[in-house]
Structure 1
Amino acid sequence: MTTDLDRATVEEAYARWAPVYDVVFGAVFEAGRKAATKAAEKIGGRILEFGVGTGIALPNYKRSNRFVGVDISEPMLQKARERVKKEGLPHVEGLVLMDGAHMGFADNSFDVVMAQFVITVVPQPEETLDEMARVLKPGGEIILVNHLGAEDGPRAVFEKWFARKARKLGWRPEFQFARLRNWAVRNGTVDLPIKRDVALGMYTLVRFRKRTQAEIASASESVALAG
């Protein structure tokens, strides 16, 4: 069974979620958001949040950081803009409607790229991760927090069964950590991901560090010598 989601399905799903997203998912995802924010602020600087949604995490960031948010859903972004205006968040540089697989930022634009509860629901996860790596500065980090599918056992069986029904909600419950690891190997500009459980294992925090050009060249040389 395919794990793909199309853009129209995702946009339609999140247009429906926009009015109630904070009420339905605010408390449920709070522990994951706090863990991701803490990890991002250890690096600090200019932060891109892909899938910023209603902007529910924006007030949690220190005002010393600079922040840009992008999302594929205009109704969700409208909620985020209202939040910025209401709460007065001067650290937010902009909130932009943008497809994650084709982001309009220059290379090496951000110190951190964040995606909270979103990488498993975008139409093109690997292409989106490629773009995250492209706009990230060397030495910076991609930080993801998400529910990830089980590798085996009863939960894995259920998630695969539920996947078809979940598509209508804009979800991909069977998305596993292995898919992120395989992307890192293929991409070649980031270290292998580091993961840890959050909220008693409900979610997984995943971090990728972007290599410097010298590190990429050294890795390529090692591969060539080994071959």
Structure 2
Amino acid sequence: MFANDRSGREKSIFEWIGRNLSPESCTSEEFIYNEMESQSGYSLPVIYQPFDASDRWHWSDRGMLYDFLYSTNGEGKKLLDFGPGDGWPSLIVAPFAMEVIGIDASETRIKVCTENAKRLGINNASFVSYKPGTELPFEDNTFDGIMAASSIEQTPDPRKTLEELYRILKPGGRIRIYYEALSDYKGGFEKDIWIVKLSESACKMVLYDRDWENEYALQYGLTVDIPEEELKERLSGGKEEIRFDQVSVAFLEEIKNRISRAQVMKTIHPSGKTWVSWLKAIGFKEVLPSYSGGMAASELFDLYSDDNRPSDLKSVDEAIKKVVKIVTGLEAPIDFDPMITAVK
């Protein structure tokens, strides 16, 4: 009975939004990325924060650097970063490459990446924009390698995007794909909420309706003219955790006159099996689902004690590189939805 009640409540929330707010359909950059000063919340090591060898996540970030670098055979090569966010991984990979070009549909992201590159003194990374759903502004066979971190699935048609990336990749070139499959949300996390600050007086409440079986997600974005912390307080009743089940039609009615914009976006989230199928059908001659360098670096961090763990960036890199080079070449079970390397 409880499950049926919950399902009915969730359905009524999305129906209420559709009926009362008439959300406009939009693409991902219109939905959120143009509105974010920092996609990462200024949390990225090296790009925004000094590297901290005592922080497990900082090790993971270095592991991802070498994951993308080695998986694309990118040392000294020309690389594309598709969907660079705040300049990740392009700006941390750039010191090892000949050239890195980042491309994004969001003008805000391009501006942020360009400013970050200038601030960091990185001269071999540049960033360009394109209109989603159109051809990428590059000639055939342009890049030695392509890095795509949770970005292809943010485009209107991920398969067509993958075909474009194949077109601009050189024969023998490699693409490394990190993606958000929906398998992680099975068992109670299909419906979710995220509140992001837009200004001192406004925030955006994003409600997720994920269908992992059919590999897509609907996101409803409500721009609310209420400060972020105040909205969280009103939603949770003072509790620290913000959860989807705190949202109700009654709550939406209460804040309706403060909702200045409503949007809806559908994104396709292929599973690992679907990615492999697409890559092979498009023409990639080798497709390898493999383990993540970030995961390997995190596990390596755990093997050290606080007393014997490397304490500077150079020493950490030396420890991480060898492990990442091995694990990124090891085939991982596709049911785990692992990262994927494909060779044209």
User: Quick check: TM above 0.5?
Assistant: yes
Aligned equivalents of 2:87, 2:101: Cα separation in 1: 11
- Offset, 1:171: 7.8
**Amino acid in structure 2 at the alignment position of 1:204:** P
Q: What SS is found at the alignment partner of 1:48?
A: strand
Give 1:14's match in structure 2, choosing from 33, 44, 47: 33
Is residue 81–residue 90 contact of structure 2 (8 Å, CA) maintained in 1? no
Aligned equivalents of 2:37, 2:179: Cα separation in 1: 22
The answer for the alignment partner of 1:195 in structure 2 is: 289
Aligned equivalents of 1:87, 1:71: Cα separation in 2: 20
Is residue 191–residue 209 contact of structure 1 (8 Å, CA) maintained in 2? yes
The answer for the alignment partner of 1:148 in structure 2 is: 181
Give 1:179's match in structure 2, choosing from 250, 274, 296: 274
- Offset, 1:9: 3.1
Is residue 63–residue 295 contact of structure 2 (8 Å, CA) maintained in 1? no
Is residue 71–residue 97 contact of structure 1 (8 Å, CA) maintained in 2? yes
Aligned equivalents of 1:209, 1:159: Cα separation in 2: 34
Q: What SS is found at the alignment partner of 1:168?
A: strand
Give 2:153's match in structure 1, choosing from 116, 120, 130: 120
The answer for the alignment partner of 2:71 in structure 1 is: 39
Closer/same/farther in 2, CA of residues 103 and 159 from structure 1, 3 Å limit:
farther
Residue 167 (str. 1) matches residue 186 (str. 2): no
Residue 30 (str. 1) matches residue 61 (str. 2): yes
The answer for the alignment partner of 1:104 in structure 2 is: 137
Aligned equivalents of 1:146, 1:184: Cα separation in 2: 14
Is residue 63–residue 91 contact of structure 1 (8 Å, CA) maintained in 2? no
Q: CA RMSD in A?
A: 3.2
Give 2:113's match in structure 1, choosing from 72, 77, 80: 80
Closer/same/farther in 2, CA of residues 69 and 175 from structure 1, 3 Å limit:
same
Aligned equivalents of 2:80, 2:280: Cα separation in 1: 23
The answer for the alignment partner of 2:340 in structure 1 is: 206
Is residue 181–residue 192 contact of structure 1 (8 Å, CA) maintained in 2? no
**Amino acid in structure 1 at the alignment position of 2:64:** R
Is residue 180–residue 193 contact of structure 1 (8 Å, CA) maintained in 2? no
- Offset, 1:86: 1.0
Residue segments in structure 2 that go unaligned for 5+ positions in a row: 1-23, 46-56, 192-208, 212-216, 222-264, 297-335
- Offset, 1:68: 1.0
- Return the TM-score normalized by structure 2: 0.50
Point out 4+ residue stretches in structure 1 off by more than 4 angstroms.
Answer: 41-44, 157-161, 169-174, 199-203
**Amino acid in structure 2 at the alignment position of 1:111:** D
Q: What SS is found at the alignment partner of 2:69?
A: helix
The answer for the alignment partner of 1:133 in structure 2 is: 166
- Matched length: 199
- Offset, 1:50: 0.9
The answer for the alignment partner of 2:316 in structure 1 is: none
Aligned equivalents of 1:143, 1:19: Cα separation in 2: 27
Is residue 43–residue 140 contact of structure 1 (8 Å, CA) maintained in 2? no
- Return the TM-score normalized by structure 1: 0.73
Aligned equivalents of 1:114, 1:64: Cα separation in 2: 12
